[in-house]
Structure 1
Amino acid sequence: MTDVTRQLDAHYDALAAGGGESLSDRLQAAFREAGLDPGRLTLDEIAGIDQLHLGGRAASRSLARLGEVRAGQRVLDVGCGTGGAARLLAEEFGCEVVGVDITAAFIAAAEWLSAATGLAGRTRFLCADAARTPLPDGSFDLVWCQHALMNMPDVPAVLAEWRRLLAPGGRVLLHEVVAGDNPEPLALPVPWARSEATSHLRPREALEASLAAAGFVPVCVRDVTEEALAWRRKHGRREAGAAPARQLPGPALIFGAEFIEMGRNLAGNLAAGKVRILEGSWGLAD
């Protein structure tokens, strides 16, 4: 296990690392408490733990539309987390998806959730370092990545792997957190980091330069910070409000009691210009 893996496990699986139940066991128990069968779930019922990025499913749908995702395309979901984007791409867009994540607890949860929602046949998951996967050359039409590069210290190595894995005519679809113009330190914790050790934010210009150096050319790139901030503020108000009678599992079961603070800090960092959010599509250079 590498230092990066240990750091990310300590962050994303902190409750289990502290001696608690595994992530999957914890979530399954929560679904039972909500009166649901954890072996038979809908995508709506798992939405609270499904996609751990700003904008939730709406952001994933927006990225898919931007990238003109089509049925039958082979997609690699990098930093897939619990597999929400992979399932959305399979169910709504007819894709065949492989999700990769370095955090073993996320992969176990992703496999269970795909089985529980009837999507195991169109999604599969692999615990691996995004810079070194055991997948064959040219095996994907799309590389999909949402809020994951900011946890990866060696982005050039990751981008080189994407280039290797993409078939001719392939594209990268990216929804990412980047450093803003405000140089003040981040308010921590945030959903991707409790300390600077696991936060590898880069300015937009540096990320785009790395993509160009790896052989990718921009097709369409948008700054969606204002939309992301509005979404975060809306969900922050909901999280701070009274709990509904039937409480479906949400991010606090993954991140712990700090999640409300993480969300509040993220909104503050966005509003202060310390971080920004990009949505974009890149193709392979000739």
Structure 2
Amino acid sequence: MTDHARRLDAHYDALARARGEPLLRRLRDAFRAAGRDPECLDPDATAGIDQLHQGGRAASRALARRGAIAAGQRVLDVGCGTGGASRLLADEFGAEALGVDITPAFVDVAEWLSRATGLADRTRFLCADAARLPLPSASVEVIWCQHALMNMPEPTRALAEWHRLLVPGGRLLLHEVVAGDNPAPLALPVPWARSAATSHLVSGRALEALLDAAGFAVSSLTDVTEAALAWRRKQGRRAAAPRETANAAAPLPGPALIFGDDFAVMGRNLGDNLADDRVRILEGAWVRR
């Protein structure tokens, strides 16, 4: 494991290190506590732990529509986390999805959730560095990436690898966190970083230049920061709402079971960073030249 991979693993699988309990076991136990069979789940039950990006499933659906994802298309989901976007693309759009993530615990969970939701035959997962993938050239028609480039210290190398993997005319779809115009330091921690060591934000203009240099022509691009901020605030209000009754069943698993007790702070800081223009969210599609 490279130093980069170790730093990301320490961030995204921090609870396993602190408590000595693997993420997979922790989530399975939480579903049982909520009265759910961890071997038979549906997308609504898993939404709290498999869409670890701003906007949740709605953002994934919007990106899929922007990219005209169609049945049978081969999609590489880069930085797939626990596999939610891969499953959504397979289930709702008929794609053949391969998810890739550098964090081993996420890949373990992604494989389990695909089995539990009946999508194991339509999704596959691989633990690997997105800049060094053991896949043949021109093997996918779409590369999909939601909130992963900001964790990559060598974006030029990653984009070159993605260009290699796409067929000519293939599409790159991004829903990405970028640096805003406010030069103030980020309020930390945020969901992708507890320190600057794992945060590698570039500005939107810099990202566009990197993509152009890597051989990608922009097809459409929208700044969706305001929608992301509204969603973040809604999630914050929902998390702060009291449980209805003391005797209610345990809630379905949410991101705090992955990130830890400081997830609430991460969410507030992300909202502050969005509101202060320290970060922005872009959604766009590019075509491989």
Query: TM tier, shorter chain?
Result: over 0.9
Aligned residue runs from structure 1 range 88-99, under 5 A: 88-99=88-99
SS in 2 for 1:45: helix
1:156-213: CA deviations, max 9, x gaps? 1100110110012200000000000000000000000000000000000111111001
Deviation at 1:19, TM superposition (A): 3.6
Q: Per-residue CA shift, 1:57-76, capped at 9, x if unaligned?
A: 00000000111111110000
2:74 maps to what in 1?
74
Q: Does 1:277 align with 2:253?
A: no
Q: Secondary structure at the match of 1:218?
A: strand
Q: Provide the residue aligned with 2:141 in structure 1.
A: 141
Deviations 1:66-91 (A, max 9, x none): 11111110000000000000000000
Mapped to 1, the partners of 2:242 and 2:75 lie a distance apart of: 39
Aligned to 1:115: 115
Match of 1:259 in 2: 263
Distance 2:20 2:40 in 1: 25
What CA distance in whole angstroms lies between the structure 2 residues aligned with 1:122 and 1:242?
38
Unaligned runs of 5+ in 2: none
Q: Deviations over 1:129-150 (max 9, x none)?
A: 0000101111100000000000
Task: Using the TM superposition, give the Cα deviation of residue 242 of structure 1 relative to its aligned residue in structure 2, in angstroms.
Answer: 1.4
Amino acid corresponding to residue 263 of structure 1 in structure 2:
G
Residue identity in the other structure for 2:287: G
Paired letter, 1:133: L
In 2, Cα distance between equivalents of 1:103 and 1:85: 16
Deviations 1:7-50 (A, max 9, x none): 11111000001142101100000000000100010011001001
Structure 1 stretches of 4+ with a deviation exceeding 2 A read 243-246
Q: Secondary structure at the match of 1:250?
A: coil
Number of residue-to-residue matches in the alignment: 285
Give, in whole Å, the separation in 1 of the partners of 2:138 and 2:192: 30
Structure 1: 5+ residue stretches without partners: none
SS of the equivalent of 1:169 reads strand
TM (norm. structure 2) is: 0.98
The sequence identity of aligned pairs, in percent, is 69
1:24 maps to what in 2?
24
| TM-score computed with the length of structure 1 as normaliser | 0.99
How far is 1:241 from its partner? Answer: 1.5
SS at match of 1:193: coil
Letter in 2 for 1:34: A
Offset at 1:250? Answer: 0.1
Q: Which amino acid aligns with 2:188?
A: L
The match for 1:13 is: 13
Amino acid at match of 1:268: D
Q: Which amino acid aligns with 2:285?
A: S
Distance 1:31 1:107 in 2: 18
Match of 1:224 in 2: 224
- Structure 2 Cα separation of the partners of residues 242 and 28 of structure 1: 24
